[in-house]
Amino acid sequence: MKKKIITRRDFLKDSASFALAGSLMTQLPVKMLAEEGRKSRVVLIRHQDVLDKDQKLQEEIVSEMLDQAVTTLTGASDVKKAWKQLINPTDIVGIKSNIWHYLPTPPALESAIVSGVRSAGVVEKNIGIDDRGILRNPIFKNATALINVRPLRTHYWSGVGTLLKNYIMFVEKPSDYHDDTCADLAKIWKLPHIEGKTRLNILVMFTPLFHSIGPHAFNAQYTWAYRGLLVGLDPVAVDATGLRILLARRQEYFQEERPLAPPAKHIYLADSRHHLGTADPAKIDLIKLGWQDGALI
Amino acid sequence: MNYLSFLNKLLIASAVILILTLFMNLQGQPEMNQPHPDMQRLLHDLTVENWELFEENYYNRDNLFDYINGGAELYLSYGFQGLITRLYQRGEQPDIIVDVFDMGTSPNAYGIFSHSCEQLSNEIGQGSQYTMGLLQFWKNRYYVSILASPETDESKETIFKIARVIEKRIETEGALPTILDYLPKEKLLPASIRYFKHHAWQNTYYFITAENIFNITSNTEAVLAKYQDLGILMLIEYPREEDASVAQDNFIRYFAPEDPIKKVVRIEDGTWTGERLSGNLLIIVFDAPEEAAVHELLNAIE
């Protein structure tokens, strides 16, 4: 099938059909599409004090934020009921974390997730946290439920490191999914050992990395204290929301258009090509909780 | 010669060939898995005052993914050949990571340096940049990154000391990509120059398209540069004029279908874009504030 080419001019002149791609690949304003069908709920929760003056995470606040986000996401009356909606007591739960040295999934958040899963009745021996070793980890091999959690950051090849990309460690040879700047990462989510198992997606937005330089891609100058978490059931909706925040930060910091190079097209294609979820803001029910200053969305 | 005797001789001959083949492969292997001696010399006996060498590793094109995972694609797209990385440690101070990349040619080393250049300095090598604990520079075929995060006064001072030693050991300078010679100097923002050989980087300043409509490959030379009050200039040099002509047709098709003759148009956001073909060189201007700016840049190139 011949690949459809979408250019900047398509984004600008077409008010509907290319609006979605335009809002994900540039800092062009989001044009809301006609509402249709059920929306994907995404909870953005932020807390001004989750980082202290030395940028150290406050564990109790992290835990409170997660509880509040999960409760709102599920619409449950309390946090325990919320976790029970997501996880069954008999589940074997793999928490897919991210150990990238400069911006790992914070251990405080991992602990808060484990507490939540425990509160749903899962015994400790049936809960595992891992990243690079998941293919050999017995918990992940036998997992009946997955929780996906990682920080948002720019990435040299996929444009941005996302929840979608976090599952690349579920394949033996990750570079098999690097073609066309990681365009088809969503395929991984349809593999038999993964499909249908993900119960919760958490994009960590405490100090996202919005620009990469050097071989290690990290520089503290290009992180900012956003102090938030994005939580949802639909990984595409959560990633798309995170990406819009990150693009807005790039615009704010550089004071000019600075698209991601390469563009994070894997998010757009996860929706339009692979139908894994929605990246369309008109189909995302974004609920903003907590601190609102500088939300950028 | 009976059949069994023949079979014995055949088996012996096969075994000899097999052993010789294995031996030759083993002989070749260290060369594959060890850095080029020129590169080794850059870090040979390099001691860092108060910091202790904790480990040293070497990576080639086959295993760079083990070190920088997805980021490896960026370096491979610039012709990466080998990397020596060293980790220095000192008590409570941040680790210092020294990465020396052999990019094969000086244009490639320049290209990878230019990829993330924000503030250009000539303090180290043929171009350098220091940003909060990260020093990057290039000289000849080498791109060097020295990182200590978070930054401290001591680590910053040490980073520069290491850089000066390595810079000195790279005895000669290398040539810049020849396509840079075409860039007009007037109103050029030097830190904005991006030299590349993969279409992934065409959108660095301005989203054009996520696809490779200009057929940028390892056989083409491409450069992006920003010009004060004029816009963004993109030059692509192709192996053949026919290749450039195909790319020109794609520009017209996707960006200037309403004026295929003049090839300078005002697009929907009010900015101007246009192109000119000069032999095997395609010259494109994006994001110009007015039509005259497009012509000024297009005509500034000989």
Range of lowest pLDDT (A23-32, A123-132, A162-171, A249-258):
A23-32
The pLDDT tens digits for B268-301 are: 989 999 999 999 999 999 999 999 999 999 999 9
Which residues does chain B have within 8 Å of residue A185's beta carbon, measured at their own beta carbons?
none
Spatial separation of the C-alpha atoms in residues B242 and A237, rounded to whole Å: 44
Tokens 């989750």 found at: A50
Nearest to B200 among A6, A181, A212 (CB): A181
CA A236 to centroid of chain Cα atoms: 8
Distance from CA of A265 to the nearest CA of B (A): 7
Which pLDDT score, from 0 to 100, does residue A6 have?
82
Strands (E), chain B: 52-60, 82-89, 96-102, 128-131, 134-139, 142-147, 194-196, 221-227, 231-237, 264-266, 272-278, 281-288
Q: Which long-range contacts (CB under 8 A, 24 or more apart) does A268-273 make?
A: A268/A20, A268/A21, A268/A24, A268/A25, A269/A183, A269/A184, A269/A186, A270/A164, A270/A185, A270/A186, A270/A189, A270/A235, A270/A236, A270/A239, A271/A20, A271/A236, A271/A240, A272/A20, A272/A21, A273/A184, A273/A186
**Among residues 218-247 of chain B, which lie with CB inside 8 Å of chain A?**
none
CB atoms within 10 A of CB B139: 25
Side chain identity at residue A287, one-letter code? I
Nearest to A214 among B116, B202, B203 (CB): B116
In whole angstroms, how far apart are CA B193 and each of B184, B221, B225, B234?
Answer: 12, 13, 4, 10
DSSP letters spanning A27-90: SPPPPPPPP-SPPEEEEEEE-TTSB-TT--B-HHHHHHHHHHHHHHHHT-SSHHHHHHHH--TT
Extract the tokens encoding A171. Answer: 């394949």
Going by C-alpha positions, the residue among B218, B245, B39 that lies closest to residue B144 is B39
> Are the Cβ atoms of B73 and A156 closer than 8 angstroms?
yes
Which residues does chain B have within 8 Å of residue A181's beta carbon, measured at their own beta carbons?
73, 200, 210
What is the reported pTM?
0.86
DSSP letters spanning B75-141: HHTTT--EEEEEEEE-TTSPPEEEEEEE-SSHHHHHHHHHHT-SS-B-SSTTSEEEETTEEEEEETT
> Are the Cβ atoms of A257 and B206 closer than 8 angstroms?
yes
Strand partners of residue B257 = none
Do the interacting molecules here have an ipTM over 0.85?
no
Nearest to A156 among B71, B147, B267 (CB): B71
Phi and psi at residue A53, to the nearest 5°: -65, -20
CB atoms within 10 A of CB B188: 17
* CB contact A257 to B (< 8 Å): yes
pLDDT above 90: residue A167: yes
- Judge whether B183 and B235 are in contact, CB under 8 Å: yes
Spatial separation of the C-alpha atoms in residues B87 and B57, rounded to whole Å: 9
Which pLDDT score, from 0 to 100, does residue B31 have?
47
Which pLDDT score, from 0 to 100, does residue B29 have?
41
- Judge whether B187 and B215 are in contact, CB under 8 Å: no
Number of Cα atoms under 13 Å in the Cβ half of residue B185: 1
* CB contact B71 to A (< 8 Å): yes
Which pLDDT score, from 0 to 100, does residue A33 have?
39
If pLDDT is split at 50, 70 and 90, which confidence band does A2 have? low
> Are the Cβ atoms of A6 and B202 closer than 8 angstroms?
no
* CB contact B104 to A (< 8 Å): no
Tokens 């439920």 found at: A145
Please give the average per-residue pLDDT across B112-137, as a whole number.
Answer: 94
If pLDDT is split at 50, 70 and 90, which confidence band does B15 have? low
Distance from CA of A7 to the nearest CA of B (A): 4
CB pairs under 8 A between A and B: 119
Please give the average per-residue pLDDT across A35-50, as a whole number.
Answer: 87
- Judge whether B204 and B248 are in contact, CB under 8 Å: no
* CB contact A218 to B (< 8 Å): yes
**Hey, CA dihedral for A104, A106, A107, A109, is it positive or negative?**
negative
Extract the tokens encoding B61. Answer: 């094109």
CB atoms within 10 A of CB A94: 27
- Considering only residues B192 and B33, tell me which one the structure prediction assigns the higher pLDDT: B192
- Judge whether B82 and B39 are in contact, CB under 8 Å: yes
Range of lowest pLDDT (A98-112, A246-260, B22-36):
B22-36
> Are the Cβ atoms of B213 and A259 closer than 8 angstroms?
no
Spatial separation of the C-alpha atoms in residues B251 and B213, rounded to whole Å: 8
Which pLDDT score, from 0 to 100, does residue B34 have?
80
Going by C-alpha positions, the residue among A29, A15, A6, A31 that lies closest to residue A251 is A29
* CB contact A6 to B (< 8 Å): yes
Percentage above 90 pLDDT, chain A? 76
> Are the Cβ atoms of A259 and B97 closer than 8 angstroms?
no
pLDDT above 80: residue B18: no
If pLDDT is split at 50, 70 and 90, which confidence band does A27 have? low
Please give the average per-residue pLDDT across A173-201, as a whole number.
Answer: 93
If pLDDT is split at 50, 70 and 90, which confidence band does A13 have? confident
The pLDDT tens digits for B241-255 are: 999 999 999 999 999
The pLDDT tens digits for A106-125 are: 999 999 999 999 999 999 99
Q: Quick check: bond before B150 cis, omega within 30?
A: yes
Distance from CA of A127 to the nearest CA of B (A): 27
> Are the Cβ atoms of B131 and A175 closer than 8 angstroms?
no
Which pLDDT score, from 0 to 100, does residue B166 have?
97
Spatial separation of the C-alpha atoms in residues A147 and A132, rounded to whole Å: 15
If pLDDT is split at 50, 70 and 90, which confidence band does A32 have? very low
Which residues does chain B have within 8 Å of residue A102's beta carbon, measured at their own beta carbons?
149
Which pLDDT score, from 0 to 100, does residue B261 have?
81
Which residues does chain B have within 8 Å of residue A220's beta carbon, measured at their own beta carbons?
132-133, 149-151
> What's the per-residue H, E or C state across A102-169?
CCCCCHHHHHHHHHHHHHCCCCHHHEEEECCCCCCCHHHHCCCEEEEEEEEEEECCCEEECHHHHHHH
> Are the Cβ atoms of A9 and B268 closer than 8 angstroms?
yes
Distance from CA of B302 to the nearest CA of A (A): 29
Spatial separation of the C-alpha atoms in residues B55 and B44, rounded to whole Å: 13
Extract the tokens encoding A116. Answer: 């939540």
In the three-class reduction of DSSP (H, G, I as helix; E, B as strand; rest coil), residue A230 is classed as: strand
Largest CA distance in chain A: 56
Q: What is the DSSP code (8-state) at residue B193?
A: -
pLDDT averaged over chain B? 90
In whole angstroms, how far apart are CA A151 and each of A23, A201, A297?
Answer: 21, 11, 18
Largest CA distance in chain B: 92
Burial class (CB in 10 A: 0-12, 13-18, 19+), A49: exposed
- Judge whether A65 and A77 are in contact, CB under 8 Å: no
> Are the Cβ atoms of B69 and A257 closer than 8 angstroms?
no
* Closest residue in chain A to residue B265, using alpha carbons only: A9
Q: Which long-range contacts (CB under 8 A, 24 or more apart) does A134-137 make?
A: A134/A94, A134/A96, A134/A169, A134/A170, A135/A169, A135/A170, A135/A172, A137/A94
Strand partners of residue A5 = none
- Judge whether A100 and A67 are in contact, CB under 8 Å: no
Q: Quick check: bond before A262 cis, omega within 30?
A: yes
The pLDDT tens digits for B147-174 are: 998 899 999 999 999 999 999 999 999 9
Nearest to B203 among A178, A219, A261 (CB): A261
